[in-house]
Amino acid sequence: MTAFFALGAIGLIGMAYKSVFVLAAGSRAFPPRLDRALRFASPAMLAAMIGSMLSPLGRGGAQITPAMLLALLAGGLVAHRKRSIGWTLSSGLTVFWLVSMLGFG
Amino acid sequence: MTATTIQTAEGQPASASLPRNVLLAGARTGLPVILGFAPFALFIGATVAESSMNNVAGWAGSWLIFTGTAHVVAIQLLDAGAALTIVVGTAAIVNLRLLVYSAGMATPWRSAPTWFKILGAYLLVDPTFAVGSHYAEQTSDETAARAFYLGAAAAMWACWLTLVGVGVAIGPTVAPLLPGDTVILLALVALVVPAIGDRTTRTAAAVAVLVALPASVLPMSLGPFVAGAVGIAVASTLDRDGAIADDAEPAP
């Protein structure tokens, strides 16, 4: 019961975060400066999550291996060329498994 | 700004004249994205299974919270016997980035009906924001943008709940076999690359990565939020001051 209550409370706070601007904005537009800044939200927040995972300092950081780095490089190149999530994942994972099989995992 | 192009799972431009087709196009685009997070979902399920928490209650977090990081932090803290206020407070800080996503979707959803705003906000997490905001940038048809988001987000939601459930059942066996960190990083790369369309967005991403490296020592997973905010602030300042010219703008 305690777990349900805690998870529900976290969910409600998360819902408040997610809806505050969406509902508060109504039919009004944000100031142009804020509107322009918000187009950086997606690349900045996603890149920050990548940087955080790659950091050797954080507790939640990934364990970086040559296979992982090569997989990310390959995935990044394919993402740039194809802009396709499926291609990015499949090419990156193929490189990861190939390099791991060669003993660099 | 150079227009970014979101493509469907088949690699074709995700455009359709009927909202139903756009909904399906969104679902087809959303599914491979969330499948990229499958190892993370399995890991969360495994964490629930290995904790002292009731499995159903632990799994319920996947739809009550619907953000993986806060969910797993909450499970671990509850399992460790942390006070309720600590559990809720920590998860609330971990989820602060959702405020940015809400602000980001406020403009595209300005004319949306209230039911959509509430449902859309509930489904708003990292991958749904990435897919939805990219498509909204690509089209001037707000109805199509909302249909695409809803299709993608609903597919991701259903798939996420299923995957966490599978994780509860078989996660402890399967999770160690998957390169979880690599898959999540590849999924994030696949989401961020299409969002980088010009020099200002490149700057925002580069600054965020550079700040995130040292900021990852910050407590309670505040690092990504701080790094993302700095990336947005720096790119906005340079953009406002004209220090960075858009690639698409003609030379004087």
- The tens place of each residue's pLDDT in chain B, 252 residues long, gives 333 344 444 444 444 444 889 999 999 999 988 887 787 788 789 888 888 889 999 999 999 999 887 888 788 788 878 888 888 887 887 788 788 889 889 888 988 999 999 999 999 998 899 899 888 888 888 899 999 999 999 999 999 999 999 999 987 777 666 676 787 788 788 878 888 888 899 999 999 999 999 988 887 677 888 898 999 999 998 887 655 555 444 333
pLDDT in tens, B164-173: 999 999 877 7
Whether the predicted pLDDT of A86 surpasses 70: yes
Write phi, then psi, for B95 (nearest 5 degrees). Answer: -90, 5
Going from the C-alpha of B125 to that of each of A62, B73, B153, the distances in angstroms are 21, 16, 9
Q: How far is B147 from chain A (nearest CA, A)?
A: 17
Q: Which residues on chain A are in Cβ contact (under 8 Å) with B214?
A: 55, 57
Which residues, listed in sequence order, are joined to residue B7 by a DSSP beta bridge? B13
Q: Does the distance separating the beta carbons of B213 and A7 come in below 8 Å?
A: no
Q: How far is A105 from chain B (nearest CA, A)?
A: 10
In chain B, positions 150-169, which contact chain A (CB-CB < 8 Å)? none
What is the structure's pLDDT at B248? 43
Write phi, then psi, for B213 (nearest 5 degrees). Answer: -60, -55
Q: Which residues on chain B are in Cβ contact (under 8 Å) with A3?
A: 53-54, 57-58, 78
CB pairs under 8 A between A and B: 323
Long-range CB contacts (< 8 A, 24+ apart) of B5-10? Answer: B5/A83, B5/B138, B5/B194, B6/A83, B6/B131, B6/B134, B6/B135, B6/B138, B6/B194, B7/A82, B7/A83, B7/A84, B9/A84, B9/A85, B9/A86
CA B196, chain centre distance (Å): 16
What is the structure's pLDDT at A72? 92
Hey, is B189 helix, strand or coil?
Answer: helix
Q: Does the distance separating the beta carbons of A4 and B70 come in below 8 Å?
A: no
Q: Does the distance separating the beta carbons of B129 and A40 come in below 8 Å?
A: no
- Measure the CA–CA gap between B200 and A46, rounded to whole angstroms: 15
Q: Does the distance separating the beta carbons of A52 and B190 come in below 8 Å?
A: no
Section A77-105 average pLDDT: 84
Whether the predicted pLDDT of A74 surpasses 90: yes
Q: Is B156 or A58 the better-scoring residue by pLDDT?
A: B156
ipTM over 0.90: no
* pTM for this entry: 0.71
Q: Which residues on chain B are in Cβ contact (under 8 Å) with A86?
A: 9, 11, 32
Mean pLDDT for chain A overall: 84
What is the structure's pLDDT at B155? 96
Q: How far is B193 from chain A (nearest CA, A)?
A: 6
Q: Does the distance separating the beta carbons of A17 and B98 come in below 8 Å?
A: yes
pLDDT band at A15 (very low <50, low <70, confident <90, very high): very high
Q: How far is A83 from chain B (nearest CA, A)?
A: 6
B205 touches chain A (CB under 8 A): yes
Q: How far is A102 from chain B (nearest CA, A)?
A: 16
Q: Which residues on chain B are in Cβ contact (under 8 Å) with A24?
A: 106
Whether the predicted pLDDT of A42 surpasses 90: no
B41 touches chain A (CB under 8 A): no
